[in-house]
A and B are shown apart, each in its own frame.
Chain A
Amino acid sequence: MQISIRRVDNATIVDVSGDIDLASSPEVRKALLHEVRDNRKPRVVMNLTAVRYIDSSGVASLVEGLKASRDIGSRFILVGLNGPAREVLQLSRLLKVFEIYDTELEALAARV
């Protein structure tokens, strides 16, 4: 799993690639919460285009990111939800809970 951070305007883009499982989800969680709580960007976008697998601990990290963003009134957005990740969020009945866009451009342009 690889994770990298980009800043675009007033948003943070978190690019994740590979598998998010018990081995890597703590790192994802830490990065997400740091961006949301510490950096306090009004918009944090999780780019999951290159995620091949995500388990329940990975989903839990996303949920924590979402909750943390709601606590401070910022937006937490998922982008590039491909087959494996989309399937898992669907099984978790959480697809409707997240703000989701197909592309980064749409995510950055989206108004409340």
Chain B
Amino acid sequence: MARSAGLTRDLLLKIELLSDPKWLYVVRGAVERLAETVGFAAAECRSVVRAVDEALTNVMRHCYCGRIDQPIELSFRLLGRHSKAGRNKGLEILLCDRGPAVDKSKLHPRTSSELRPGGLGLQFIREAMDSVGYKRVGHTNRLRLVKYLPSEKP
């Protein structure tokens, strides 16, 4: 368990998989159950599943360019924060891959409802999560997604 200034991060689940799209189905199942266990409502569970699925898809397509034998690591942590506003619980999802560095200028979702294929994945991710962050750490791309549960007032 990691603790820092009132913030806790407890590991819930770690998944290592290869970049084969056939595993998306399996991961979706696990993420749905995990989100439900953490306490998200049904609609929020669906949006968490969607965000993780789209993020994985982006790695498979754009980072690994369709190769099905590359490593991806997902970890899920329960965030806990105590403040005057109340106790805030959240789910942190870290998605790591060993592909080339991501061009940050391509991390912007489409802004209109233009009729064109593609460009929706990032939109789904940003609409589902409270926080989306990307960092390059050594040879690893690290995407951090966070979604909070409603605050528990003291």
Residues of A at the B interface (CB closer than 8 Å) are 19, 21-23, 53, 55-57, 59-61, 63-64, 66-67, 84, 87-88, 91-94, 97
Number of CB contacts from chain A to chain B under 8 A: 58
Contact call B57/A21, Cβ cutoff below 8 A: yes
Main secondary structure of the interface of A (DSSP, over half): helix
Shortest Cβ distance from B112 into A: residue: A93
* New contact pairs (20) apart from A21-B21, A55-B50, A60-B120, CB-CB < 8 Å: A21-B53, A22-B21, A23-B21, A23-B25, A55-B121, A56-B121, A56-B124, A57-B57, A59-B117, A60-B118, A61-B117, A63-B115, A63-B116, A64-B117, A67-B115, A84-B46, A88-B124, A91-B127, A93-B113, A94-B113
Main secondary structure of the interface of B (DSSP, over half): helix
Q: Give the size category of B's interface with A.
A: 20 to 34
B61 to chain A, nearest CB (A): 7
Chain B residues with CB under 8 Å of A57's CB are: 57
Q: List 6 A-B contacts (CB under 8 A).
A: A22-B21, A55-B53, A67-B115, A94-B113, A94-B115, A97-B115
